[in-house]
Amino acid sequence: MFGRDSAEGYQGIIPGIRIKTLAAGERTLMAKFLLKGGSALPAHSHPYEQTGYLVSGMLRLYIAEEPRELGPGDSWCVPSGVAHRADALADCVALEIFSPAREDYLKYLRPEDVS
């Protein structure tokens, strides 16, 4: 699968946070998140390992209640089942890879963006 990013197709999941799935395979899925400065992703956990990369902005990420302030070029990994949350300190763009692939995020994959 090849993906092509575009400005279209992002969907709001909570106030200030939008998502678009960029590519998905049998074992992994990559999504792009746009976070508005001041928005917050509430604490949650899931059975997926989650590896992320901050493209732009400033983010305070809590993994198992350990906070880290992250800037462009920083990355992280959230183990499966571990609670995490985030506060966008500025407008952010983040890439996230999930393993196994999140079936619930396939709905954010636009057929016109992949081949």
pLDDT tens-place string over residues 45-71:
999 999 999 999 999 999 999 999 999
Which pLDDT band, with edges at 50, 70 and 90, does 114 fall under? Answer: confident
Task: Give the class (CATH, top level) of 11-101.
Answer: mainly beta
Q: Is the bond into 111 cis (omega within 30 degrees of 0)?
A: no
Give the chain's end-to-end CA distance (angstroms, integer).
6
Residue ranges of domains in the chain: 11-101
Which pLDDT tens digit goes with each residue over 79-111?
999 999 999 999 999 999 999 999 999 999 988
pLDDT at 5: 85
pLDDT at 111: 86
pLDDT at 38: 98
CA distances from 54 to 14, 74, 75 (A): 19, 6, 6
Cα-based torsion angle of the residue sequence 80, 37, 54, 11 in order, rounded to the nearest 10 degrees: 70
